[in-house]
């Protein structure tokens, strides 16, 4: 019986994952710098971000996280343009990774 090994990420996937991690750090900095974000928005964003690190690639959790991030991006656009941009970049990175 042949051994089954998990697929190794390609160089492009590794770079995209590194980019996602960098964007998540940037988003964290933006969140800490945004003091006027309402409690409900903070909680929604934290819940979405909590879904990202542990879910396997291609899972519905990631697709859901991407769509929820895009909704939050639109919600933040007027009052928090820098935060909205950071959220949008994370959503783009998730989409690029196919997750």
Classify residue 44: in a domain, yes or no. yes
Question: 3-state secondary structure string, 4-65?
Answer: CCCCCCCHHHHHHHHHHHHHHHHHHHHHHHCCCCCHHHHHHHHHHHHHCCCCCCCCHHHHHH
pTM recorded for the entire structure: 0.66
Number of folded domains that form the chain: 1
Classify residue 83: in a domain, yes or no. yes
Place of tokens 């995209």: 16
CA–CA separation, 24 vs 30, rounded Å?
10
Domain carrying residue 89: 39-99
Segment 5-55, tens digit of pLDDT? 444 556 566 778 888 888 888 888 888 888 788 888 888 888 887 877 654
Tell whether the model's pLDDT for residue 1 goes beyond 50. no
Classify residue 27: in a domain, yes or no. no
Classify residue 20: in a domain, yes or no. no
Considering only residues 13 and 66, tell me which one the structure prediction assigns the higher pLDDT. 66
Classify residue 4: in a domain, yes or no. no
């Amino acid at each position: 019986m042949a051994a089954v090994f998990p697929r190794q990420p390609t160089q492009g996937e590794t770079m995209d994952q590194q980019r996602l991690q960098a964007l998540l750090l940037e988003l964290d900095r933006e969140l800490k710098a945004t003091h006027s974000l309402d409690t409900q928005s903070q909680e929604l964003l934290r819940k979405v971000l909590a879904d990202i690190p542990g879910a396997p690639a291609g899972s519905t959790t990631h697709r859901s996280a991407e769509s929820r991030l895009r909704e939050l991006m639109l919600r933040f656009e007027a009052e928090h343009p820098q935060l909205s941009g950071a959220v949008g970049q994370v959503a783009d990175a998730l989409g690029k990774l196919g997750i």
